[in-house]
Amino acid sequence: MKALQDLQLFVRIAAAGSLSAAARQLGLTPAAASAALKRLEAELQAPLFVRSTRSLRLTAEGEAFLSHCRQALQLLEEGREAITQGQGTVRGPLQISAPSDLGRQHLLGWLDAFQAEHPQLQLRLQLSDRLARLHREPVDVALRYGEPPDSSLVALPLAPDNRRVLCASPTYLAHAGTPRHPGELAQHNCLTFLLADELYDRWRFWQDGRELAVTVQGDRSSDDGEAVRRWALAHRGIAYKSALDVADDLRAGRLVALCPGWQTEPAPLVLVCASRRQLSLAVRRLRDDLLQRCGALSAGLPAALPG
């Protein structure tokens, strides 16, 4: 088992680019992690990383060994999964990446309930709107809005009909006026989102089959979706958010959906993994659970919601 842990550590270091970060992920001290890496390199009789004071990078030998190491760990996981599936037991670690706003608002509670049903499961949750690199990072599955840019990934729908909602608080609208047409957004403070350092400031709408793209402006933007929603709740401007993210706010009247009669951008929520071999019993059970919960959340949206 110590050899298996050394392999797991090596893969984590390669993904994180940091020995101390990988050690934290596995609950090891930096000294123990360093000793494990030296032990593995001694056994292989080859250096796996080039070390500097600030970072680590793989050597040529490390690059070659990494792919084999991942395959070996995957095969061992499949063997363990074959045993647990025969027993019908969900167990072991499950590493999930999810958007910040959906994660903090809903997923934390949903995962609490899911883990209560499967007490032998160990959850590791990464909340970030940055797109996880599933082929390189230690992530089993990711929840993401929109179709994955990499067609080699496996994407399972959780909320295929989810759309964006143009919304603002009643207090903001009382002060700045209520836009009835997307073209009126030029007169409003719009709260924009950054993804991979790209500003998402071109909002699209449809009516009678015709598309209208509006370039918006505002005094603040963030790469964190939760920050954008909080600004809208604090009466700072108009947001263009996933309906799942603002479902509770719309239902409670904290936010108001704008521009009825205009269809908004699709924002399907999908569960993504690197390959079908990663569709373990835990992942399939989680997908079934989230599919049901997203459906219930969507069903609670106001009937007059645009789109």
Which CATH number goes with the domain that contains 68?
1.10.10.10
Average pLDDT, the chain: 87
Domain end, chosen from 29, 64, 88, is at: 88
Output the CA–CA distances (angstroms, integers) from residue 202 to 143, 151, 194, 199, in the order listed.
Answer: 24, 25, 12, 9
For residues 17 and 250, give the distance between their C-alpha atoms in angstroms, rounded to a whole number. 42
Confidence of residue 106 (pLDDT cuts 50, 70, 90): very high
Report pLDDT for 153: 76
User: Total structural domains in the chain?
Assistant: 2
* Residue 303 DSSP symbol: T
- Which residue type, as a one-letter code, is found at position 79? G
Confidence of residue 5 (pLDDT cuts 50, 70, 90): confident
Domain end, chosen from 219, 234, 257, is at: 257
Domain end, chosen from 34, 65, 88, is at: 88
What dihedral do alpha carbons 294, 299, 305, 307 form, nearest 10°?
60
67, two tokens:
């792919």
Tell me the average pLDDT across 3-24: 85
Establish if 144 belongs to a structural domain: no
CA-derived radius of gyration, the chain: 23
Q: Which residues contact 63 (CB under 8 A, 6 or more apart)?
A: none
SS3 of 244, please? Answer: helix
Report pLDDT for 238: 98
Confidence of residue 140 (pLDDT cuts 50, 70, 90): confident
The enclosing domain of 211 has a CATH number of: 3.40.190.10
Establish if 274 belongs to a structural domain: no
User: In this structure, what are the phi and psi dihedrals at residue 269, rounded to the nearest 5 degrees?
Assistant: -95, 130
Establish if 297 belongs to a structural domain: no
Tell me the average pLDDT across 162-171: 96
Beta bridge partners of 127: 98
For residues 37 and 215, give the distance between their C-alpha atoms in angstroms, rounded to a whole number. 51
Establish if 114 belongs to a structural domain: no
Indicate the pTM of the whole model.
Answer: 0.70
106, two tokens:
């809903």
Establish if 207 belongs to a structural domain: yes
Establish if 307 belongs to a structural domain: no
The total of other beta-carbon atoms located within 10 Å of residue 64's CB is 13
For residues 54 and 29, give the distance between their C-alpha atoms in angstroms, rounded to a whole number. 18
Report pLDDT for 133: 61
Strand locations in 182-297 (E)? 192-195, 198-200, 202-207, 210-215, 221-222, 239-242, 256-257, 269-273
Mind listing the pLDDT tens digit for each residue in 185-237?
999 999 999 987 789 999 999 999 899 999 999 999 999 999 999 999 999 99
* Residue 132 DSSP symbol: P
Confidence of residue 20 (pLDDT cuts 50, 70, 90): confident
CB-based contact 230:199 (threshold 8 Å) = no
For residues 58 and 63, give the distance between their C-alpha atoms in angstroms, rounded to a whole number. 6
Give the domain range for residue 55: 1-88
Establish if 299 belongs to a structural domain: no
Confidence of residue 15 (pLDDT cuts 50, 70, 90): confident
Beta bridge partners of 199: 194
* Spatial strand order in the sheet of 192-195: 198-200, 192-195, 221-222
Establish if 110 belongs to a structural domain: no
Report pLDDT for 82: 63
Tell me the average pLDDT across 259-268: 93
